[in-house]
Structure 1
Amino acid sequence: MSASEMNPVVVAVGHDPIDAALRFAAAEARRNGCGLHLVHALRRQHDGPESILVTMSDREFVGRQALEAARERARDYLGEELRLSAEILHGPVVSAVVSGAAEARMIVLEHRDLSTLRRVMTRSTASGVAARARVPVVSVPARWDPDAEQPAERTVVVGIDIPDRSEQILRVAAQQARSRGAILRVIHTWSLPAPYEDLVVTRTEDDRWGERANAEIKAVIESLGAEASGVEVRVETVHAPAPDALIAASREAELLVVGRHDPVVPFGSHLGPVARAVLNETACPILLADPRPVLRWGRLAEDVAQQAGV
Structure 2
Amino acid sequence: MSEKLGNGIVVGTNGSAGSARAVQYAALEAERLGVGLDIVHVLPDFTALAPTTDIFPTDLDSDVEAIGRTLLQQAADAAAGHAGTVQCRQLLRVGRTVPTLVDVARDARMIVLGHETVTPLRRIYTGAVTMGVMARAGSPVVSVPADWSPPTGPGRVVVGLKSSRHSAELLAAAFRQASARGARLVVVHAWSLPNMYDDRIVTRTREAAWTAAATGDVEELLAGERAQFPHVDVEVRSVHDQAVHALLEEVEGPDLLVLVRRAHGFPPAANLGSTARALLQRSPCPVLVLPAQDVIAEVQDLELEAAGAREE
* Equivalent of residue 137 in structure 1, options 141, 145, 148: 141
Matched residue, 2:195:
194
Is the CA contact 2:269–2:298 (under 8 Å) kept in the aligned structure 1?
no
How far apart are the structure 2 equivalents of 1:302 and 1:114?
29
Measured against aligned partners, the alpha-carbon deviations of 1:257-310 in whole angstroms (never above 9, x if no partner) come to 11112348664533211100100110111101112279xxxx759979xxxxxx
How far apart are the structure 2 equivalents of 1:236 and 1:22?
32
Q: Which runs of 4+ in 1 moved over 4 A?
A: 263-268, 299-304
* Equivalent of residue 69 in structure 1, options 74, 78, 92: 74
Measured against aligned partners, the alpha-carbon deviations of 1:107-166 in whole angstroms (never above 9, x if no partner) come to 00111111134324764311111111111100000011226xx5x641000001113432
Q: Which amino acid aligns with 1:216?
A: D
Calculate the TM-score normalised by the size of structure 1: 0.85
Q: Which amino acid aligns with 1:113?
A: T
Measured against aligned partners, the alpha-carbon deviations of 1:58-89 in whole angstroms (never above 9, x if no partner) come to 2222111100010000001111x331111112
Structure 1: which 5+ residue stretches go unaligned?
Answer: 305-310
Question: What does 1:78-89 correspond to in 2, within 5 Å?
Answer: 78-79=83-84, 81-89=85-93
* Equivalent of residue 122 in structure 2, options 118, 122, 125: 118
Is the CA contact 1:26–1:78 (under 8 Å) kept in the aligned structure 2?
yes
* Equivalent of residue 94 in structure 1, options 95, 98, 108: 98
Shift of 1:11: 0.6
% of aligned pairs identical? 36
SS in 2 for 1:275: helix
Is the CA contact 1:33–1:82 (under 8 Å) kept in the aligned structure 2?
yes
How far apart are the structure 2 equivalents of 1:302 and 1:211?
38
Measured against aligned partners, the alpha-carbon deviations of 1:12-62 in whole angstroms (never above 9, x if no partner) come to 011324331122112211221111110111221314257645532222221
Measured against aligned partners, the alpha-carbon deviations of 1:159-196 in whole angstroms (never above 9, x if no partner) come to 01113432111111111111101011000001233333
Matched residue, 1:285:
286
Q: How many residues align?
A: 293
Q: Which amino acid aligns with 1:58?
A: D
SS in 1 for 2:45: coil
Shift of 1:96: 0.3
Matched residue, 1:10:
10
Shift of 1:205: 2.2
Is the CA contact 1:243–1:277 (under 8 Å) kept in the aligned structure 2?
yes
Matched residue, 2:207:
206
Shift of 1:215: 2.4
CA RMSD of aligned residues (A): 2.7
How far apart are the structure 2 equivalents of 1:30 and 1:264?
37
Closer, same or farther in 2 for the Cα pair 1:183/1:204, shift >3 Å? farther
Matched residue, 1:307:
none
Question: What does 1:1-310 correspond to in 2, within 5 Å?
Answer: 6-17=6-17, 18-45=19-46, 46-48=49-51, 49=53, 52-53=57-58, 55-79=60-84, 81-120=85-124, 123-146=127-150, 153-202=154-203, 204-224=205-225, 227-263=228-264, 267=268, 269-292=270-293
Structure 2: which 5+ residue stretches go unaligned?
Answer: 302-312
